[in-house]
Structure formats: C-alpha cells, structure tokens
Structure 1
Amino acid sequence: MSEVQPKSEALRQMFWRSEILQVMYWLRGEGFGDLVDAPLIERFLGVEAHIGVTYLDRLVDDGDVTRDGEWYALSARGLEEGALEFASAFEALTRPSHGECSDDCWCHASVDEAEACASQRNGPHHHDHGDEW
C-alpha cells in the first residue's frame, strides 16, 4: 500500500486517511482483530512510526478511529468509510470482467447452473464440418 504520497498537505491528509482506513478495514477482515496498534498498521503501510501515529491521531480527532492507550479501532463511521475506501481501491479487481457473471447470477447456486452459464457465456462451439450447421 505504500505509494508515493502527494506533496500538498491537504492531499497528503486525504491520501493517508484512505490508506489507513483501508488497512484497518483489511486487518479486521483478515482476523487481526478490531484493535490494532500503530506498529502493525505502519508495517502494512510501509511508513515510519511518526508518520503513522500523526495520521492515526487525526483520524481519532475526526471520529473515524477510536483510541484506547496504544490500541486503535475503527469507529462505526470509520468501518463504513473503510469498507468504501477498500471497495473503491479494489473495484477494478473485484468487478466481473467482460463475459463473467455478477454476484447475483444463478450460476453461483448450483453446478448445473454454472455449466449452463459458462456454456452460454462462451457461446456455442462451432466446428467446421462442412455443411453441418
């Protein structure tokens, strides 16, 4: 997640807000727990301790993150925002590509439906056998 950060302070704040919320949301989803400390977040962000804590404290001030001593957790609002940031960041990787089905397709319900759907998506397999069409 450690990308080159923006030069202006306003954009840098937005950048780190997005990065931290995504990482905290991902850590929670991966089973690291609701409470994480700054070193864990910083490890995944690839930043120095003073940078991570500075932006974490800003998220606490904004109400996206709660703090209990050395531990941080997403607030209800931070959880929602983290989910949105995470989804937005990985949207291109998670949406169906051309020819793939969406999550609500019947092919996810059974093997028969999956085979029928794949066959329909890929189209009929025509082989050149003279005038056999």
Structure 2
Amino acid sequence: MSDTQRQTLDSIEALRCRDDILQAMYWMRGEGFGEDVDARGLMGFLALDADLLAEQLEILVEDGQLAEADGRYVLTDLGAREGGRRFHDEVADLQKTAHGECGPDCPYCKGIRGDGCAHCAMVA
C-alpha cells in the first residue's frame, strides 16, 4: 500500500470516527444516558482506538460540534443537528414498515397481497 493510499484510508477512518462519535452522543442523549460524556464513556459504546478517539474529539471541538469542559464533551446545537441527521440516515431503513404492519384498518394494505400493494411499494 502506498503512502497516499494509507493517508486516504486514515482520512476515511477519521471521518467515520467523527460520524460515530456524533451519532453515539446523539443516541446516548436521546436514551437518557446524559448530556455529557468523557472519552472512556464513549469507548464503552464505540470500538475505537483511544488515540484516534481523543484526536477526533478535539477536531469536533475545533469544528464547533462539541464543547469540552473538564474532559467531558457535550453536543453543541450544530453537533446535535449533525449527529441527529447522521443517526437518522443510518437507521432510516430499519424504521420502514413492511406490508401489513400498518395496522388492520390501513386503507392501502387491507385485502391486498404485499407484492401488489402500492402503499408498501412507496414505503419500501
């Protein structure tokens, strides 16, 4: 692997790490685990190298997506928007309903096989 390829992979890994941090913090806040977290707390949810995590936390602070105080990090408004968007993008396909999951009174699915249901085709 060339140095250029290695740098590209390192850049992609760093970007992925920042995405994971924002998504995890957004999820943790939504699930009631608290507004702020330290690096050790994040490592309980993310399989990341400690040095890479520390480096990317600092970049997120510099970019204005996180605020840091006494080694604890909190999402800024920008970070919450970005973390929320990325989290929702990641789980969007998991939240779609399948044919018949709409409920027994769904006017679109009632009495129609799944492969012929226009409603299910729209949400798939």
TM-score interval for Structure 1 and Structure 2 normalised by the shorter chain: 0.7 to 0.9
| 1:7-28, Cα deviation, whole Å (9 max, x unpaired) | 6232122211111100000110
For 1:24-103, list aligned pairs within 5 A: 24-101=25-102
Change (3 A) 1:41 1:21: same
Separation of aligned partners in 2, 1:21 and 1:87:
12
Structure number with bigger Rg:
1
Contact 2:65 2:76 in 1 (8 A): yes
Query: Root-mean-square deviation (CA), in Å?
Result: 2.3
| 1:103-126, Cα deviation, whole Å (9 max, x unpaired) | xxxxxxxxxxx4322x8514179x
SS of 1:84's equivalent? helix
User: What TM-score, normalized to structure 2?
Assistant: 0.75
Structure 1 unaligned spans of 5+ = 1-5, 102-113, 126-133
1:74, distance to aligned residue in structure 2 (A): 0.4
| Corresponding position: 1:115 with 2:116 | no
For 1:7-22, list aligned pairs within 5 A: 8-22=9-23
User: What TM-score, normalized to structure 1?
Assistant: 0.70
Moved over 3 A (4+): 97-101
1:95, distance to aligned residue in structure 2 (A): 2.2
Structure 2 unaligned spans of 5+ = 1-6, 114-124
Change (3 A) 1:115 1:98: closer
The percentage of aligned residue pairs carrying the same residue is 35
SS of 1:115's equivalent? coil
